[in-house]
Amino acid sequence: GDPQTVLRVARGLVLPILALVTGLALSLTERRQAFAASAGVIAVGAAMALLEWVLPIEFLTQTLQVGEYWRAVKEVPQFLIPHPIGALPGNTFVDAWNPESTRRLAGPFGDALSAGYTIAAGILMAIGSVRSPWRLAVLLLPMAAGLLLTFTRSGWIIVALVLASLALTAPLSRWQRGALLAGGAAAGVAMLLVGPVHDYIMRIVSGGHSSTLAHLEYLDDLNEIPFSLDGSGFANAGALAGFSTENIFATTLLQLGIGLGLLYWVATAALIIRARTRWQNLAVWSAYLLAIAVSWMVSEQWLTFNAGWPMAFLLGAGVVCWGPGSPRESVRPNAQSVDLTASAARSASNPDTAES
């Protein structure tokens, strides 16, 4: 196959594995520091995206030249739509291919789907690492508003399931539990009162939204995809061969073949199970994994750097402060000093041990 195509496909397959391993390799302190820093960066990105969202759409096509970005980087012509204001991807708008409908928030994240997944991960990282209520509020406000305006259902589901399990199972302080309830209530009110969001949800529930119909078509098309044992579909996978699987399992089996594809998912499952111990809370881990698994069935964002990396990194690193019995960083140095003192005392009382 074409070397660039092979390289692009291989990169997508390796990224989530690398992100999982990176999360597993970090210590407790390093994970919390990484989460806090990442949440700050994502919150700034969400604020920038909100500013861009309120500007005229010509700002995207003429000043930022988003259309040119999609032509050069995405290299998938069928996702571009001709329009007098410039070529923009179909998922830029709530109604695909309809520039007259509400524009979805994207900003520096590249596109609305990437923005939704990344901001969802940023919200969970902030809640799992930031202890100051005021700092947490400053981070969550732009991210929550940004996530809502991405109109990315998977991002909504990820945050809703995790926060619900967190509220029900984790030992939270009074202000933490109150903040979760207030945030959930505010999100519910926003979904009811913000016209485009309310209409979008109603059409999804009724099954009449264009993206829902498209997902159903993708599932039907899986019967026509040429799966093989040796991965002969590798170079012609996905949209390059006219197939848009929108399904991680179908994509990997098509690209790697059934044999290597199954091995790939066995390795991924092994890393995910290993990461289970990093979460300290089975309910929260299960909720996050369930939400991610749902997204695997209808989206290929797991294989992209800007969306897949933060999701996989969060899954591998875990958030220990969400669960009962979480280790406390302040205790560890004291415990270490006690162990060293006791060891020194034993060595002093036993010369043979001290010399060895």
Tell me the average pLDDT across 9-34: 90
Residue 345 has pLDDT above 80, yes or no: no
Whose tokens are 């875990």? That residue is 318
| CA 331 to the chain's CA centroid | 32
Each residue of 221-231: pLDDT tens digit?
Answer: 666 666 555 55
Which of the pair, 36 or 79, is modelled with greater confidence?
36
Contact 247, 298 (CB under 8 A): yes
Calpha distance 272→21 (Å, rounded) = 10
Residue 23 has pLDDT above 90, yes or no: yes
Q: What is the pLDDT of residue 158?
A: 93
Q: What is the pLDDT of residue 43?
A: 96
Which of the pair, 320 or 318, is modelled with greater confidence?
318
Which of the pair, 19 or 334, is modelled with greater confidence?
19
Residue 356 has pLDDT above 60, yes or no: no
Show the tokens assigned to 245: 């699987």
Distances (CA, A) of 238 to 79, 87, 119, 253: 13, 22, 26, 11
Tell me the average pLDDT across 84-101: 70
Q: What is the pLDDT of residue 209?
A: 58
Least confident interval from 55-64, 305-314, 317-326: 317-326
Q: Which of 157-171, 206-220, 329-343 holds the top average pLDDT? A: 157-171
Contact 203, 209 (CB under 8 A): yes
Helix axes 282-298, 305-317, angle to 10 degrees: 160
Q: What is the pLDDT of residue 130?
A: 85
Q: What is the pLDDT of residue 324?
A: 42
Secondary structure of the chain in HEC code, one letter for each residue: CCHHHHHHHHHHHHHHHHHHHHHHHCCHHHHHHHHHHHHHHHHHHHHHHHHHHHCCCHHHHHHCCHHHHHHHHHCCHHHEECCCCCCEEHHHECCCCCCCCCECCCHHHCCHHHHHHHHHHHHHHHHHHCCCHHHHHHHHHHHHHHHHHHCCHHHHHHHHHHHHHHHHHCCCCHHHHHHHHHHHHHHHHHHHHCHHHHHHHHHHHHCCCHHHHHHHHHHHHHHHCCCCCCCCCCCCCHHHHCCCCCCHHHHHHHHHHHHHHHHHHHHHHHHHHHHHHHHCCHHHHHHHHHHHHHHHHHCCHHHCHHHHHHHHHHHHHCCHHHCCCCCCCCHHHHHHHHHHHHHHHHHHHCHHHHHC
Contact 255, 233 (CB under 8 A): yes
Which pLDDT band holds residue 297 (cuts at 50, 70, 90)? confident
Q: What is the pLDDT of residue 323?
A: 44
Tell me the average pLDDT across 16-40: 93
Which pLDDT band holds residue 44 (cuts at 50, 70, 90)? very high
pTM of this structure: 0.80
Q: Which long-range contacts (CB under 8 A, 24 or more apart) does 165-169 make?
A: 165/281, 165/283, 165/284, 165/286, 165/287, 166/127, 166/281, 166/284, 166/322, 168/283, 169/281, 169/283, 169/284
Q: Phi and psi at residue 170, in whole multiples of 5°?
A: -90, 145
Q: What is the pLDDT of residue 110?
A: 79
Each residue of 47-69: pLDDT tens digit?
Answer: 999 998 988 877 777 777 776 66
Which of the pair, 322 or 6, is modelled with greater confidence?
6
Q: Which of 196, 246, 202, 200 is CA-nearest to residue 225? A: 246
Q: What is the pLDDT of residue 140?
A: 93
Each residue of 158-207: pLDDT tens digit?
Answer: 999 999 888 888 777 777 777 778 888 888 888 778 778 878 777 766 66
Q: What is the pLDDT of residue 177?
A: 77
Q: Which of 301, 281, 314 is CA-nearest to residue 159? A: 314
Q: What is the pLDDT of residue 212?
A: 61
Q: Which of 318, 300, 287 is CA-nearest to residue 113? A: 300
Q: What is the pLDDT of residue 17?
A: 94
CB-based contacts of 154, cutoff 8 Å, min separation 6: 113, 116, 117, 120, 291, 294, 295, 298, 299, 301
Contact 129, 42 (CB under 8 A): no
Residue 42 has pLDDT above 80, yes or no: yes
Least confident interval from 108-117, 285-294, 295-304, 323-332: 323-332
Residue 241 has pLDDT above 50, yes or no: no
